Amino acid sequence: MKKLILIGCMCLFVSGATAQEKSLASPEAELRQRIDSLIEDLNGKRFAQRRSSEQQLLRLGASAIGPMREALEQSEGEARVRLQRILTELSRSIRIVDKVTSDSLQSVTSLTIDQHGHFLYASAFAANTVSVYEINPENGTLSTIENVTDKKDLAGAVSIRLSSAAPLAVAACYAGKTVTLFSRSEITGKLKKLDVYRGDARSPQPNFPIEAVFSPDGKHVLCLDPYAKDGKNVGAVLVFRVVDGRKLQWVHSLTGKGSCLANVRGIVFHPTKNEMYLCAADAGALIRASCDPDSGAIVIQQVLRDSEKGVQGLSGVFAADISQDGKFIYTSSGRFGGDSAVGVFTLGPNGDLEVVQEMISGREKMGDFRGGNELVISPDGKNVYVTGTLSSTLAGFARDSQTGKLTFIETVPFGAKKLGPAGVAVSPRGDYVYAAVEGASSIAIFRRDQ
């Protein structure tokens, strides 16, 4: 009996020690075990399992590089291809970690994120839809909150933008010839339609509304109409007052002289001055204009055109962004012809725009970059990201905050057979970059190294 008791005690002691060892396993050992398990799952029988493992390894980042390099020497077939692909992505400064694909994202072109980084909004013109996603703060992934579809009021919804001054959103819809105003829940992210502007006998009807944005104080909405006059390539900016936070009232339209707003596509506001900068693709012009915060009236102050004052990369200029200090304006060109270029401009002593730097694809080192669409400066000011719709790539640049100049880092391919990325947005913390992949009906999610 004593022997049996002794043996039983020994068994308890051994099993207890094993459990204790497991509970005391180091985080490093647990992480390595997880990585090894994910690598093994790259040979899984189910495609969903293999794809999920690949995405998780991408999210683990640098910690997974060593084990994957070891495994690569002994792997073959699809597992080897996936390992090589992951290692290539992890060597980039920005790498794709996930994507969302949906019928509600057919021809998705614009993205915007609320200032708290809780929700992402997307517009898809072929789906006549505006979608709302919740952002997971831990890994940047997206979960669908709602899809708002309307074949009349949201027909051809090509842009969705948020007000920084009030819980409002606005969509420009070229097929419906509408500008649609929404209220926005800051708790759930959901949208509620408030007003739809179409024009009437006393106010102009938008001919091809392609972009609509709020003024910095939220009092006005500005709509870009690239082909404003009877469908001709004239271009205009329509200004609306936001009445009582729920209605759009037209107050002013600007067409400019000499068709300087022909195919106007991009707009950005100065952070401290009552100024805006407009991009007119067919005019090959970057336009500086003053804006009255009370009346909404716009007055053009300067038109800087391609092939003038040493400028060579504004043909087909499509979009712009401005540094937080207001010293530098960045432009992209090429989505619908012209130069595939990225430009840097500053405001001179007299307030006029002056060119600082232009990087033109084929002339400077820019990787595979064609068809410049939207661009965004990272919140920390260290990088600029530009979508190349025709090359199906995202171009990354390092930014010098003192001089404003850019240094090319890389182009990241999407592999889309049709049109590549269009809209682009960065989370407020700067850890994730999101790109609207127009031809793939998807949103690509990139992890950004900081």
Query: Residues near 185 by Cβ (< 8 Å), separated by ≥ 6?
Result: 167, 191, 192
State pLDDT tens for residues 152-176: 999 999 999 999 999 999 999 999 9
pLDDT at 65 > cutoff 90: no
94-448 is classed CATH 3.40.50.410: no
**What was the pLDDT predicted at 438?**
96
Q: Which residues sit opposite 253 in a β-bridge? A: 238
**What was the pLDDT predicted at 13?**
37
**What was the pLDDT predicted at 30?**
87
Domain definitions of the chain by residue range: 2-90, 94-448
State pLDDT tens for residues 396-406: 999 999 999 99
Whole-number Å distance between alpha carbons of 377 and 319: 12
CA dist 430 to 79, 258, 404, Å? 32, 40, 19
Whole-number Å distance between alpha carbons of 256 and 287: 10
Characterise 232 by phi-psi region: left (phi > 0), alpha (psi -120 to 50), beta (else): beta
**% helix, strand, coil for the chain, step of 5:** 20, 45, 40
State pLDDT tens for residues 302-336: 999 999 999 999 999 999 999 999 999 999 999 99
Give the pLDDT band of residue 21 (cuts 50, 70, 90): very low
Residue, of 59 and 36, whose pLDDT is higher: 36
Whole-number Å distance between alpha carbons of 280 and 432: 29
The 10 Å Cβ neighbour count of residue 28 is: 9
**What was the pLDDT predicted at 69?**
85
The alpha helices in 264-313, defined as continuous H runs, are none
Q: What average pLDDT is seen over the chain?
A: 91
pLDDT at 8 > cutoff 60: no
Max Cα distance, the chain (Å): 107
Whole-number Å distance between alpha carbons of 20 and 41: 28
Residue, of 128 and 66, whose pLDDT is higher: 128
Characterise 343 by phi-psi region: left (phi > 0), alpha (psi -120 to 50), beta (else): beta
Predicted TM-score (pTM) of the model is 0.83
pLDDT at 59 > cutoff 60: yes
